[in-house]
Amino acid sequence: MALPMSDKKLVKSAGVLGFVGGVLSLIPEINIIGYVLVLIAMRGLSRAYNNDVIWRNAVPAVAMSITGMIIANFAYVKAMTVAILGPLATNSWEATATWMLAAIAAAWWFIMAMYIVFLIGGLYWLRTYGELVTVSGIQYFARSSKLYWLGSALLIIGVGAILVLIAGVYAILGFRRLSRQYDIKS
C-alpha cells in the first residue's frame, strides 16, 4: 500500500508508541500506562491506514484489558484480606471455616468475572490485530491476534496466561517492525 509521506511518519511514530506501550503492558505495576500507549498507537495507525475498524476494536480491547486487570487486582487484595483477617476476627473453628468458604465463593465469582472480561477483550484483540495485519502486512500481528484469543479462552485453566504473554511479545515485535517499515529520510 502506497502511503503519503505524512502517513508513513504517522505509522513510524505509532509503531514506536506501540512498541513502548507493549513493553510497559507486560509490567504489572504500570501495565495500564502501556495499554493507553498502545491505544494511542492504534488511533494513529487507524488514521494512517484510513481504517476505522482498527480503532473501533482497539478501544474495547484496551478497556476490557484494563477492566480485567482491575478485577484481578481487586480479587487478589480481597482474597488476601479475607485470608489474613478472617481467622483473626473469629475465635471458633466453625466461624473461621464459614469465613473461608465465603472467601472461596467470592474468589470464584471474581475469577469468573475476570475470565468473561478477558475473553471479550481477547475477541477484540483478535479483531484489532487481525485488521492491522491486513493493512500492514506484518505477520507478527497475525500470530499475536490468534494467541491473544486462544490465551484468553484458555485463561481459565492457567495456560492461557502464558499464551497471552507470548501474544504480547509478538505484538511488540510487530510494532518494532512497523516502526522500521518505512525508511524516512528528512
| Residue 65 belongs to some domain of the structure | yes
Q: Give whole-number Cα distances, 163 to 65, 79, 108, 117, 146, in Å.
A: 15, 25, 22, 17, 10
| Residue 156 belongs to some domain of the structure | yes
Q: How far apart are CA 133 and CA 9, in angstroms?
A: 18
pTM of whole model > 0.85?
no
| Residue 79 belongs to some domain of the structure | no
pLDDT tens digit string along 135-166? 999 999 999 999 999 999 998 888 999 999 99
- What is the pLDDT, as a whole number, of residue 102? 77
What mean pLDDT is predicted for residues 72-81? Answer: 76
Q: Give whole-number Cα distances, 18 to 72, 84, 104, in Å.
A: 24, 40, 38
| Residue 83 belongs to some domain of the structure | no
Q: Phi and psi at residue 91, in whole multiples of 5°?
A: -120, 10
Q: What range defines the domain where residue 62 resides? A: 5-72+104-179
Question: Is the backbone of residue 158 left (phi > 0), alpha (psi -120 to 50) or beta?
Answer: left
pLDDT tens digit string along 36-71? 999 999 999 999 999 999 999 999 999 999 998 888
- What is the pLDDT, as a whole number, of residue 89? 62
Q: What percent of the chain shows pLDDT beyond 70?
A: 87
| Residue 144 belongs to some domain of the structure | yes
For residue 3, what pLDDT band results from cuts at 50, 70 and 90?
low
Average pLDDT, the chain: 87
| Residue 145 belongs to some domain of the structure | yes
| Residue 78 belongs to some domain of the structure | no
Look at the chain and report how many structural domains it folds into. Answer: 1
pLDDT exceeds cutoff 60 at 124: yes
Would you tell me the crossing angle of helices 159-179 and 93-136 to the nearest 10 degrees?
30
For residue 186, what pLDDT band results from cuts at 50, 70 and 90?
very low
| Residue 35 belongs to some domain of the structure | yes
What mean pLDDT is predicted for residues 166-174? Answer: 96
pLDDT tens digit string along 130-139? 999 999 999 9
